[in-house]
Amino acid sequence: MEEAKKPRSGKKEFVGIVKSDKMNKTIVVSVENKALHPLYKKYVTRVKHLKAHDGANDAKVGDRVRVIECRPVSKEKCWKLAEILERAR
């Protein structure tokens, strides 16, 4: 049986936690990445804060979301909310 395949786009995707939803139609998503330090051989957590477009103002602080790369919407905003994976409790 053949599985349904998603069309492959060259766009980057990240999963992160919403840290702020105070702006209109914009959320700030915190994406964590663990990387091995080349000299000390210890895993270091690196955090990226991305501003993403949320047209419907659906996402709230604490939600786990998936963001996808898009054309620049404003000066700092070039990501959009793809889906909300898990709501905050």
Domains of the chain: 13-86 (2.40.50.140)
Alpha-carbon separation of residue 57 from 12, 26, 51, 68 (angstroms): 22, 7, 13, 16
Position 54 pLDDT exceeds 70: yes
Q: Tell me the pLDDT band of 3, cut-offs 50, 70 and 90.
A: low
The pLDDT of 24-40, averaged and rounded, is 97
Is the per-residue pLDDT at 71 higher than 70?
A: yes
Question: Under the phi-then-psi rule, with left for phi > 0, alpha for psi from -120 to 50, and beta for the rest, what region is 25?
Answer: left
pLDDT of 2 reads 57
Considering the chain, what is the average pLDDT of its residues?
93
